Each structure stands twice: as C-alpha cells, then as structure tokens.
Amino acid sequence: MSSTKRYFEKPSRFSDAEWQARLDLAAMYRIFAYLKWDESIYNHISLRVPGEDAHYLINPFGLHYSEVTASNLVKVDLKGNIVGHSDWPINPAGFTFHSAIHDKVEGAHCVMHVHTTPTLAVCCLEEGISYSNFYSAQIYNKVAYHDFEGITLHMDEGQRILDSADGKPILMLRNHGPVVMGATLAQAFALMWLVNRACEVQMATMSMGKVREIPEEICKKCTADSLPLDPKYGAGEDVFAAMKRIIEKQDPSYKQ
C-alpha cells in the first residue's frame, strides 16, 4: 500500500492546482484513447495551467495517448518554449493554433483537436455539418470553418484561424479535422462528443439516402436546451467524471 501511495505522490515541483490540472488532462488523454479518438502520437489537447495565464500543458510528442501521465505532460509558454524540465519535445504543429487560441480567445482554457474518421470526413464535405440529427442540432450556430492551408506549422496561420473561428467554440478545419475550445476541460470534451457523434450519424445517414434537415427554429431550441453546454448542469463535468471512473478501473497509471 505504501509503495502504491508513493508511486502516485505529487512531485514537489508542481503546485496543488497545477498537479490537479495535470491529473485531469492525463485522464482526458486516456479517455481519448479509450474512445479511439487518438491518432497514433499525433493531435492534441491543451489546457491552461491554473493561475498561469501564459502557460499551458500539452502532450509529449512521441508518446501514445495511453502513455500520457500527469508528470510527463509538457508545460510550454505562448511562444512554444518548454517551461521547466521535460524528457520529451512537443509537436510544432500542435503549437501554432493552440497558442493563438489560448492567447487571444477569452475563456478558451482548453483546446482539443482530433482526426477521427467521421469528423475529418465531414470536414471534407463542401456543406460541412448537416443539422439533421439529435447531436448536430445541439451545436447549431456554434460552428465555423477554416480553409485548408496545409500542415499547421506556420505561425501566421494562427491569426487566420482566429479570424475564421469568429468567436465560435467549434472550428472545422476543412479537409483536416475539428478544433473545439472550452472554458474547462469538461466543457471542451462535451463539445467534442457532440461534434463526433453528429458526424458519425451524418455519415450513416448520407449513406442511406436524402438527408432530412431539422428546421432552424428547432435547432435553436435544441442548442439552448443542450445539457452538456449548460453550466447549470455542470457543462460536461458529470460525463467527464463518469469517463474518469472507467479509466481509473482500467489503468490508474495516468496519475503517475
């Protein structure tokens, strides 16, 4: 018992607030792996360090999401410089738009980017997301689009990505994949869940025949009533907690 306790003990170099953020973010990477939202060693979830507006945590480049732990997450500043010690680098393509969003979008404390097959496929459609199912109706008027410019390595694209988002929390990078921005890790997860499920159902629907769109007034009502987006219902905190319990049972090593 004592050895297990030492194994999961908070390193002294981290504050209590940063360590909790690290635990939650590491758990989220494991959740993404569990849901098959991972992309080998690529894609990113970044989270602002509490009390350190110019610093955020991101995955170590070279590790699979199932290998991410609280202590090996990398802290970087808004210029992409690693803060403190890290045994791993970060993916430059993960820094370009994440840093721009964290720096310029008020309240964007968490940014997620995936390449799941359904979300990327919908990003390749000319019309993008179809407001024709239960999930997409909950994100009506919350989605923006950004034209593909290649691999996101060039810093000048960061501002164009911000301009394209225009304050919307969901940005579909055309021909590439979605980006979601949340005030919390849980809220960003709730948004990504809705986006991914909306795209899964859209793919299935389009394979069967003509899509039946939902009237605009109903979509607006669904978005207003959506529990995952409502702070009164935790804005995804209950779902995040449930998923963490699954990860905890499977493999609690994310807490290392």
- Angstrom distance (rounded) from CA 189 to CA 209: 31
Walk me through the domains of the chain, giving residue ranges and CATH numbers: 2-255 (3.40.225.10)
- Angstrom distance (rounded) from CA 166 to CA 160: 10
State the maximum Cα–Cα separation within the chain, in Å, rounded to a whole number.
Answer: 61
Confidence (pLDDT) at 21? 98
Confidence (pLDDT) at 7? 60
Answer yes or no: are the C-beta atoms of 179 and 99 closer than 8 Å.
Answer: no
Answer yes or no: are the C-beta atoms of 140 and 219 closer than 8 Å.
Answer: yes
Give, for 181, the enclosing helix (H) or strand (E). strand 177-182
What would the DSSP string read from start to end of 29-40? HHHHHHTT--BT
Confidence (pLDDT) at 152? 84
Q: How far is CA 108 from the centre of its chain?
A: 11
Confidence (pLDDT) at 60? 97
Helix 92-104 × helix 157-165 angle, to 10°: 50
Residue count of the chain, please give it. Answer: 256
pLDDT tens digits for 92-140? 877 778 889 999 998 999 999 999 999 999 999 999 999 999 999 999 9
Residue ranges of the chain with per-residue pLDDT less than 70? 1-7
Provide the residue type at 29 as one letter.
Answer: Y
Confidence (pLDDT) at 1? 41
- pTM of this structure: 0.94
